Amino acid sequence: MGVIQNILAVIVVLGVLITIHEYGHFWVARRCGIKVLRFSIGFGKPLWSWTDRHGTEYGLAAIPLGGYVKMLDEREGPVDPSERHLAFNTKSVWKRIAVVCAGPLANFLLAIFAYWALFVAGTTTVVPMIGGVTADSPAAQAGLSPKAEIVAINGQPTRSWDEINLRLIGAIGDDRLSITTRAAGASVTREQALAVNHFLVDQDPPRPLATLGITAWRPQLPAVLGQVLDDGAAQAAGFKAGDRIVSIDGMLVVDWIDFVERVRGAPGETLSVLIAREGGEQTLSLTPASHSLEDGRTIGQVGAGVENISWPAEYQRELSYGPLAAVGQAIGKTSEMTVLTLDSIRKMLVGLIAPSNLSGPITIARIAGDTARSGLESFLSFMAYLSISLGVLNLLPIPVLDGGHLLFYLIEAVRGKPLSEKVQNAGLKIGMALVGSLMLMAIYFDLMRLW
């Protein structure tokens, strides 16, 4: 069922993003007086199509990995003299630039709308309070202490753990990090410098908080099972929802974190677990399944989840804005994520971020499915970020992509005449080879993550 949900989620996400992107090209082309021959979502043989009164064919094709808008163009086939004024290649270079830019711009507008909807609806976040500091870590050496709220990273405000992680990911490769904290109940903030050497470089995947030696504060979770997954080790051992873990191999279990750590540290080992159930106690034999992580470590898993508890009200924060204020917040969030994406590309090119962080369709499908199961808020946030990524990637100056065409047209605007067909065709071949190589690399790293 999880695989089916992932497939459906990625179809919805990519379908929306591709449609919006191509509609941007389509809408501006029509406004520039260009005849659109076909508007296709997907490649290959059409599964469904219809034609409007303008002669534009709309189609849904079999391969859902992209889409295209085919316009009347003398370079792609004969054009009736009576329609020559409607051809793309006969329009001014500025109109062609507008058409090319419209697709990525539509993706940015979609992201702004998604963030706007989230800000208007409001979200409840957890106050980013430090729970613990590892001895001799950068955080300990800088003097960070538990129960202090992180209010800024490198001078940028942070209202949630999500924002903190984004700020830290943006600091990859830095040798110095500044964290501003506020003690519980205090109004005065304190900025502390952390010594980091090429922060997070060569980490795959990056673990920013663990690298700094910081753990997030959370209320103590009793070791009570809230759910037992089908076909998991816990179900096979006879565990049920509501069971309270008392001890493992005779050693008392303090809380849920304690239980998880012991399970993770015992892959394939048989544990004697004392549980409390319905007023009595009994002992069950539990053998955690072995699970390999991306960093090569093997941990134990049992297929069980903790019973939900309510966070104290003082550790929760409601983020919501009125319709007008949310516009500015959404534009700011989109701009921030755009800069982060561009900076990540730069750092990957200079070797600060490992190429193995590239993600392809398999990882996108998995994350789309996970966020869909987590709720509408997570799903919209993921769609907004993916839309920004699509917009940024399409604007890269690589022939074949929108950014490559934009580069050719900007050169034409400066020179007063287009580049020769020979130069453009050579650029397209190079662009196709580069994009194809990146796609193969992304799929390869997707498969490595699965294995």
Q: Is residue 361 a part of any domain in this protein? A: yes
Residues 438 and 347 in one domain: yes
Which of 299, 270, 266, 298 has its CA nearest to residue 283? 270
Q: How many angstroms separate the most distant Cα atoms in the chain?
A: 90
Residues 403 and 328 in one domain: yes
Which of 3, 75, 69 has its CA nearest to residue 38? 69
What are the backbone dihedrals phi and psi of residue 431, each rounded to the nearest 5 degrees, phi first?
Answer: -60, -45
How confident is residue 221, by pLDDT bands cut at 50, 70 and 90?
Answer: confident
Q: Say if residue 72's pLDDT is above 60.
A: yes
**For residue range 311-348, what is the model confidence (pLDDT) as tens digits?**
777 788 888 899 999 999 999 999 999 999 999 889 88
**For residue range 412-451, what is the model confidence (pLDDT) as tens digits?**
999 999 888 899 889 989 999 998 898 888 888 878 776 6
Give residue 186's pLDDT: 81
**Sign of the dihedral defined by the CA atoms of residues 43, 363, 228, 127, in that order:** negative
Looking at 161, 186, 216, which one is the last position of a domain? 216
What CATH number is associated with residue 201? Answer: 2.30.42.10
Q: Is residue 428 a part of any domain in this protein? A: yes
Percent of residues, the chain, with pLDDT higher than 70: 98
Q: Is residue 6 a part of any domain in this protein? A: no
Q: Is residue 281 a part of any domain in this protein? A: yes
Structure tokens at 357: 């962080």
CA 326/CA 117 separation, integer angstroms: 8
Residues 450 and 330 in one domain: yes
Looking at 183, 216, 249, which one is the last position of a domain? 216
Token pair 């399944």 is found at: 289
Average pLDDT of the chain to the nearest whole number? 89
3 exposed, middle or buried (CB, 10 Å; 0-12, 13-18, 19+)?
exposed
CA 447/CA 360 separation, integer angstroms: 9
Residues 148 and 111 in one domain: no
Q: Which one of 22, 163, 314, 412 is the catalytic residue?
A: 22
Looking at 276, 306, 336, which one is the last position of a domain? 306
Residues 442 and 345 in one domain: yes
Residues 269 and 390 in one domain: no
Integer angstrom CA distances of residue 234 from 225, 263, 385: 10, 11, 36
Which of 260, 264, 262, 267 has its CA nearest to residue 287? 267
Token pair 């809230």 is found at: 226
Give residue 294's pLDDT: 64
For the chain, how many structural domains are there in total? 3
Q: Is residue 159 a part of any domain in this protein? A: yes
Q: Is residue 244 a part of any domain in this protein? A: yes
Structure tokens at 10: 């990625």
**In terms of pTM, does the model score above 0.85?**
no
Residues 116 and 134 in one domain: no
Residues 194 and 297 in one domain: no
Residues 278 and 367 in one domain: no
Q: Say if residue 295's pLDDT is above 80.
A: no
Which of 145, 206, 138, 122 has its CA nearest to residue 176? 138
Active site annotation includes 22 = yes
Residues 274 and 370 in one domain: no
How confident is residue 1, by pLDDT bands cut at 50, 70 and 90?
Answer: very low
Q: Say if residue 154's pLDDT is above 60.
A: yes
Q: Say if residue 362's pLDDT is above 90.
A: no
Q: Are 102 and 25 in contact (CB under 8 A)?
A: yes
Q: Is residue 91 a part of any domain in this protein? A: no
Instruction: Count Cβ neighbours within 10 Å for each residue of 260-288 and write b for 16 or more, e otherwise.
Output: bebbbebbeeebebbbeeeeeeeebebbb
Q: Is residue 301 a part of any domain in this protein? A: yes
Structure tokens at 259: 């239980």
Residues 327 and 450 in one domain: yes
Structural domain of residue 298, as residue ranges? 225-306
Q: Are 256 and 243 in contact (CB under 8 A)?
A: no
Number of residues that make up the chain: 451
Mean pLDDT value across residues 17-27: 95
Q: Say if residue 226's pLDDT is above 80.
A: yes
Residues 331 and 443 in one domain: yes
Q: What letter does residue 423 receive in the DSSP assignment?
A: H
**Sign of the dihedral defined by the CA atoms of residues 430, 434, 439, 440, in that order:** positive
